[in-house]
Structure 1
């Protein structure tokens, strides 16, 4: 039997960013986890995490929105944050979203929801938006070769900005999605509504 503490935030959102990162650092140190994947569309949360994980021995990988997510041909990343990440040796990954990608194009054009988008919606509804983000960025980091698929990692995600969810995950590639496992929830919001 393993007993672990899970922290539940009263509300979702970026108000929980600093606590989420601190809890993730604590768990990484306890478990000796060497890879941390952080969702950060602008790069700001990624910089906060990179600073917090300095000296822990964990490698931080920041995953942003794919270029064109909000507007065709445009990156949501802010240059000042991406430059700071690079100066710290932290990769900033932008690639096709694992739980939407081409599937979203089909559903937008033809209607309905794809099977892949249904997985994303189920994770959002059943667990939390942040948990869906943690799963997705873990796949994206694995597909980019930034994290091993045979080791546990920590993933940090959020609900509409910042961070409010952290999980220990055994990642997998997109083509082996069902080999991915959420092993632990470190923290997440109880009230998942958007304010």
Structure 2
């Protein structure tokens, strides 16, 4: 399934099931281009901190999507972030990295759907305790769609995955 088909499937599911919020993983903004005409849905694009003082989504692209009515969140990864610093420095794995690796047993996209939804909730861009549709991928583009109720990073184990709508085999 192409990125465009995956995103269409997510939008159709959201509309058919009265889900108002879609959270989309996007590094540079590419996945958001397929959602620019969706004015009936609240779209939140989530990108990550790339390096010290660097962001992969250019400021003019961010402004373009914000002017189109989308929210953009840039944050450290919810399922690694500060913990990765310690595991890299001292060796081993911490509990959050174990959660991330467990979600990867389904697919990288499922892990990212949970992660970006948590990041969007932490940033106050989606409502608490409400089902949302999340779109992510295993690299560039999108290949995974999940219906979930995210929880905050501090209570990530309270996140509920209700349905995997699309996932690569």
TM-based fold match above 0.5: yes
- State how 1:21-170 maps to structure 2 within 5 Å: 21-51=7-37, 54-55=38-39, 57-66=40-49, 69=50, 71-124=51-104, 126-170=105-149
TM-score, reference length from structure 1: 0.82
Q: Which has the higher contact order (CA 8 A, sep 6+)?
A: 1
Root mean square deviation, CA, Å: 1.3
CA shift for structure 1 position 80: 4.2
Structure 1 CA distance for aligned equivalents of residues 8 and 148 of structure 2:
17
The runs of 5 or more residues in structure 2 that have no matched partner are none
Check the 8 A contact 1:47/1:81 in 2, yes or no.
Answer: no
CA shift for structure 1 position 180: 0.7
Any runs of at least 4 consecutive aligned residues in structure 1 with deviations exceeding 4 A, and if so which?
A: none
User: What number of residue pairs does the alignment pair up?
Assistant: 169
The runs of 5 or more residues in structure 1 that have no matched partner are 1-8, 10-15, 191-195
Q: Describe the SS at the equivalent of 1:186.
A: strand
Q: Describe the SS at the equivalent of 1:60.
A: strand
What is the match of residue 156 of structure 2?
177
Structure 2 CA distance for aligned equivalents of residues 29 and 73 of structure 1:
38
Deviations 1:142-189 (A, max 9, x none): 111111122110000111111000011111111111211111111010
Structure 2 CA distance for aligned equivalents of residues 50 and 185 of structure 1:
24
What is the match of residue 193 of structure 1?
none
What is the match of residue 5 of structure 2?
19
What is the match of residue 5 of structure 1?
none
